[in-house]
Chain A
Amino acid sequence: MSTMDVSTTLVRIFGAVFLVLAVASTIGLILKWRSGFAHPHATIDNLNARLKAWWIMIAVITAATWAGAWGVIALFALVSFQCLREYVSLAPTRKGDHRALIWSFYVFLPLQYYLIAAGWYGLFSILIPVYAFLLLPISASLGADTARFLERSAKIQWGLMICVYCLSHVPALLTLEIPDYAGRNLLLVVFLLLTVQSSDVFQYIWGKLLGRHALSKQISPSKTVEGLAGGMLSATAMGAALWWITPFSPGEAAFVALVINTLGFFGGFVLSAIKRDRGVKDWGHLIEGHGGMLDRVDSLAFSAPVFFHLLRHGWTL
């Protein structure tokens, strides 16, 4: 297929997304109007703040996709940077970790994204799990501070894995060589983003409409069983409906969507457990109504590597 088809497809999909956003914003406005503009209403105001942020996020994603492979790689390098920043800000380190943090921010993060641009899969897949894993504790040990050494090393490694390694699998989709799909890999990124992010949105909507039974009061007080079930089913249906932009059949698309939505859900769940342990509600304050960057992409971090591997082992040569 030609690249011409890709841009037409992208225009259609992003057009549809903007349309949905416009409808949602109108509903948000009507809700606000009916509750009274003068009176604050926690849920409706938060909904409208979220929608406003979505406009900006979708605009940024559209611009990056428009710019092509480089745009997507640069966007996710910045997303990783911000996530790692939020993560380390909340996970206390000591003075002896300074060198390891410098390596993480200024060497491993850029290098990981450079390897995607260079298409060097071999090193991309082991840079952080092997080389950062060995080098960071070495550099921390030079800080000559043994207090809670293992705990500190583990914390930094974990942050790099989630914020850089896992998230970098989104732009890495561009490097896969799938027969009869050449030149269309951007659509895989769009499929992953739409499916996983819509799952979060559907869970929110179903939870607000029908949510009765709390899923886990200790970890995520706002998540409900109804929201989870409704969100999963809706987002899986949505993934299946997008089969035509993927190398999957409709059935395969539904299966893949279910897998990545399940992982995405647990991504949010696991990172919530860390937030509760640190006594905070959000990772940051960058995105109004949503919290931090890491709050927005936690589900992506858990689903992207698995989506990548499914494709790599099931659909490439």
Chain B
Amino acid sequence: MKIERLLGAALCGLARVITGARAIHHAAQGSNPAGEPRVYYANHRSHIDFLLVWAALPPRVRRRTRPVAGADYWLASPLRRYVALSIFRAVLIDRGGTVHAAADPLAVMHAALDAGESLIVFPEGTRNVGDGLLPFKSGIFRLARSRPGLRFVPVWVENLGRVMPKGSFIPVPLLCALHFGEMLCLGDDELRSSFLNRSRDALIALAPPAA
């Protein structure tokens, strides 16, 4: 367990050095009370998005936060399995149609939340190779509905998609930033489409003007 924690810290440090990533908090001070489990949701541009979000959290919070990732990708090789399960303690969910079909995705996320741990999710469901933000999958809504009062914190990952666009092998050493926004909750009787749009808008609002 010790060596995994060390490896995790080393990977965080490496990712921060290479990307120069900084956390920028846009929420009013004190509006994101610490302690309670919450769900960080971010835009998805590369395989290391979750690492940057994870690295940007204070170490104490980081140890209680787990990325939610696709089992099909992270169980595909022994190395990935080790990285996902042992170093990052990822909550692996089945994105459909694989042999590794885990339990119901909601059930595994509930288990983590009930243990007092926070989650990092990417509601676009897949890496976005274009600009902006893809429509959200409904998983984030089902999670919100099944746990009333659960807080969702939007995190915009800036520039990472430009560091190494899909299909390229050499990273450009740009400076990345993580924009943390104000947390939101599912409203009473709020409809699926309304919550998905509202959470998506809150995330887009954190993005700096595009090219």
Contacts and interface: CB of A to CB of B under 8 A. Distances in A.
Contacts of A86: 175
B170 A102 contact: yes
Interface in A144-159: 148, 152
Contacts of A92: 162, 209-211
A106 B175 contact: no
Interface in A67-121: 81, 85-86, 88-89, 92-95, 98, 101-102, 105-106
A137 B110 CA distance: 51
B173 interface: yes
A36 interface: no
A85 B173 contact: yes
Contacts, number: 40
Interface residues of B, number: 17
A276 interface: no
B209 A279 contact: yes
Contacts of A93: 162, 211
B26 to A, nearest CB: 14
B174 A148 contact: no
A98 B174 contact: no
Nearest to A104: B172
B46 to A, nearest CB: 13
Interface in B156-181: 159, 162, 165, 168, 170, 172-176
* Interface of chain A: mostly helix, strand, loop or mixed: helix
Contacts of A285: 22
A284 B208 CA distance: 15
* Interface of chain B: mostly helix, strand, loop or mixed: loop
Interface string B136-167: 00000000000000000000000100100100
B20 interface: yes
Contact of A284 (B129, B175, B211): B175
A249 to B, nearest CB: 45
Given A89-B159, A93-B162, A105 B211 contact: no
A98 B209 contact: no
Given A85-B20, A93-B162, A102 B172 contact: yes
Nearest to B22: A285
Nearest to A81: B173
A106 B22 contact: no
Nearest to A147: B211
Contacts of A106: 170
B211 A98 contact: no
Contacts of B170: 102, 106
7 contacts: A89-B159, A89-B175, A105-B172, A106-B170, A148-B211, A152-B211, A284-B175
Given A85-B174, A93-B211, 10 more contacts: A81-B173, A88-B172, A89-B176, A92-B210, A93-B162, A98-B165, A98-B168, A105-B173, A148-B211, A284-B175
